A and B are shown apart, each in its own frame.
Chain A
Amino acid sequence: MNKFGFTLSVPRVIDYDKNDRSVADLIAAKEPTFRLCIECGTCAATCTAGNFTDFSLREINVLLRRGENEAAAEKINRCMLCGKCILVCPRGVNTRNVLFIARETLSKTNGHERL
């Protein structure tokens, strides 16, 4: 409430204990290579969408693993599914499938179709 000309700031901290990591767990179960990501950023470097929009698959991986699902859901539809990221990933992550499952799961958990 803004009673005195200012309001409380929204905490930026990732509160790991309060977050829901079930989406990440589900992705890891369906696409085990998801676990192998070391956040090197090769996928994001080569990404068509990332060159023009605020989209980084590396960042989305981190957000999902920490249970920051809202933040991930907001960005995830910018991917054009070209698949270049699979070619460059040094850890053999099936990046396209990770993104696919994430989209599917997030659209369900958010209660409306996002695809």
Chain B
Amino acid sequence: MNEPDKKRIWSEYQKEIADDHYFYVRSCIRQSFFPGSEQFFLHLIRDILGKDIYENPSHTTCTGIGYHTDIVPFQTIMTVVARHFALMKESGYKNIAISCVTSFGIYTEIIETWKHFPEELEKTREYLLKATGREFDIPENMAHTSDIVYKFRNEIASKAKFRLVNKKTGEPLKVVEHIGCHYSKMFPKYGVGGAEFPKVLSGMIEAWGGEVIDYPERRHCCGFGFRQYIVQANRGYSLSNSVKKFESMKPFKPDFIITNCPGCNMFMDKWQYTIREMEGRTYGENGLSIPVLTYEEVAGLVLGMNPWELGLQYHMVQPEPLLDKMGVEYSKSDKFITKDGKPLPAPEKLINV
């Protein structure tokens, strides 16, 4: 690929990302599916980068999954989001940092709606005031938390203990980057690098020594699709989309997949188990599966965090082959115990072990 022109595309989609003082809004599902990610993000921002980030205990779900499955009406979700903005205002923050791509899409969609239909904004103000007595401001700066990690990717690289390089061969690790659709497909201007050649994750990979794979189905949706997944009989459709991606990336022999969306990560991870059970197909080298990591987990590994503290053992596809390639040391016996030595429940049927 021609780098100068890719850089030109990226330079046209440079969004402003706040430098400090973030109001953090969590994802519903990330805390259970990859429990170390959000925790590590807070640690990274506060303790490693020395920034201020605040989360308000009254923050709730954005109801995005309900919205996308036609359970929550638009007026309701606008009011829920307005309440989050009210909490931010009450806490004295102006920069919102959103952990979930579904939520990020919801926030961008709502803010754009208010721009184009100011009467909807006024109605929402009225609903929120009537329902809760709260008032809100639209954030001055809105970033997905992957934007923030992207912003500080070079600082992270300068503090790195490990690089995304195969320790034995010295070759850069080959990485598939998968961006959640609602990060930039609805509004390319809100994503770093736009929608066709997004830079947010590939920028991290390159800064940390890896090599990004451009495979034909790179821009294809993971297939999650909310309502398609929620109904069990439809899940084959969701699975088929992920499989289409896996088949397309397989010849490139990716060492791991990095994602910025909770749904994509969960499905690209767990569908590898599913398709292996259903059809006996695997997509990594030597019959293994491809580890699927969040950008926080990758940043954590690069910064030398203990992989079990990052929660990597709670993915379906286990990370050991990747850890071995990077030269990250880990203890087999500590994998499923808490910090104070109590046993943690170990998931069944883990793969890559």
B25 interface hit (Cβ, 8 Å): no
Q: Point out the residues of chain B lying under 8 angstroms from A8, CB to CB.
A: 236, 239-240, 243, 275, 278-279
Q: Point out the residues of chain A lying under 8 angstroms from B185, CB to CB.
A: none
- Determine if A9 and B240 form an interchain contact, defined as CB atoms under 8 angstroms apart: yes
Q: Point out the residues of chain B lying under 8 angstroms from A9, CB to CB.
A: 236-237, 240
- Determine if B232 and A5 form an interchain contact, defined as CB atoms under 8 angstroms apart: yes
Q: How large is the interface on B (under 10, 10 to 19, 20 to 34, 35 or more residues)?
A: 10 to 19
Interface residues of chain B: helix, strand, loop or mixed (majority): helix
Q: Point out the residues of chain A lying under 8 angstroms from B237, CB to CB.
A: 9
Q: How far is the CA of A23 from the CA of B191 in the complex (A)?
A: 47
Contacts A6-B233, A6-B235 known; A11 to B244 CB distance under 8 Å?
A: yes
- Determine if A6 and B279 form an interchain contact, defined as CB atoms under 8 angstroms apart: no
Report the minimal beta-carbon distance from A43 to chain B, rounded to whole angstroms: 35
Q: Point out the residues of chain B lying under 8 angstroms from A3, CB to CB.
A: 277-278
Q: How far is the CA of A9 from the CA of B243 in the complex (A)?
A: 10
Return the CB mask of A1-19 against B: 1 if under 8 Å, else 0. 1111111110100000000
Question: Which of A5, A6, A11 has the most B CB atoms < 10 Å from its CB?
Answer: A6
Contacts A5-B232, A6-B234 known; A11 to B240 CB distance under 8 Å?
A: yes
Q: How far is the CA of A1 from the CA of B240 in the complex (A)?
A: 13
Q: Point out the residues of chain A lying under 8 angstroms from B75, CB to CB.
A: none
Report the minimal beta-carbon distance from A92 to chain B, rounded to whole angstroms: 39
Q: How large is the interface on A (under 10, 10 to 19, 20 to 34, 35 or more residues)?
A: 10 to 19
Return the CB mask of B223-234 against A: 1 if under 8 Å, else 0. 000000000111
Contacts A1-B278, A1-B279 known; A6 to B244 CB distance under 8 Å?
A: no
Q: Point out the residues of chain A lying under 8 angstroms from B338, CB to CB.
A: none
Q: How far is the CA of A76 from the CA of B221 in the complex (A)?
A: 36
B14 interface hit (Cβ, 8 Å): no
Return the CB mask of B206-249 against A: 1 if under 8 Å, else 0. 00000000000000000000000000111111011001100000
Interface residues of B in 235-286 (CB under 8 A from A): 235-237, 239-240, 243-244, 274-275, 277-279
- Determine if A6 and B243 form an interchain contact, defined as CB atoms under 8 angstroms apart: no
- Determine if B233 and A5 form an interchain contact, defined as CB atoms under 8 angstroms apart: yes
Q: List 11 A-B contacts (CB under 8 A).
A: A4-B278, A5-B233, A6-B232, A6-B235, A6-B236, A8-B275, A8-B278, A8-B279, A9-B237, A9-B240, A11-B240
What is B's interface to A at a CB cutoff of 8 Å?
232-237, 239-240, 243-244, 274-275, 277-279
